[in-house]
Every structure is written in structure tokens, then in C-alpha cells.
Amino acid sequence: MLIAWGTALTPASAASATATLFIVLTVGQALGALLVGALLDATGPLVAFSLAAVISVASAVPAVRPDHPDRSGPGAAGPGRHPSNELVFRHEQQ
């Protein structure tokens, strides 16, 4: 899904979008592991993993917010439809 989203955002440079996506995911995983490891040593598993869960949920909020730009306004994908799937939806409408 993320690859399709990156391709939809930058169709002229889909390969660059995919490479950037994987680099950012890898860096995020490495930094997250370092942060949780440091928190485990300093506070224990309850605090470390609770904070990791809160950060994970908070990072998803923009994607599910009803007033998110991808969800409203002219040309919006509509309820239950993500803009990265618009290529599929356009093909289905033809």
C-alpha cells in the first residue's frame, strides 16, 4: 500500500519514491529500536512499551482523521477510499 501511495504521489519518479520509502522505514526502525532499548534500561518494560504504543497510535491519527486533506474537498477519494487507489478506481470507472 505504501509503494502504491508513493507512486501515486510522484508518478514521474516512482522508483525514487519507493527507495525513499524503504530508507525512511529502515531508519525509523533503527531509531525506534534504539529509543525503546534506552527506555527499557532507564524505566523498565511497562513505560518503554507503553510509550512506544502511544507513539505508534499517534502517528496513525493523521491517516484516520476525518478532516484530513485526503478525505474531504473537491477530488477527494471518498469514504473508505485512499487516494493511492485512485488509479484502480479510475480504471474501474472506464
Site of grid cell 512499551: 49
Rg for the chain (alpha carbons), in Å?
A: 18
CA distances from 35 to 38, 43, 57 (A): 5, 12, 17
Site of grid cell 534504539: 34
Burial of 18 (0-12, 13-18, 19+ CB in 10 A): middle
List the pLDDT tens digit at each of the 94 positions of the chain.
Answer: 778 878 888 888 888 888 888 999 999 999 999 999 999 999 999 999 999 999 989 888 776 666 655 544 444 444 455 555 555 545 455 5
Residue 93 is predicted with a pLDDT of 53
Residue 83 is predicted with a pLDDT of 54
In angstroms, the CA 78 to CA 92 distance is 15
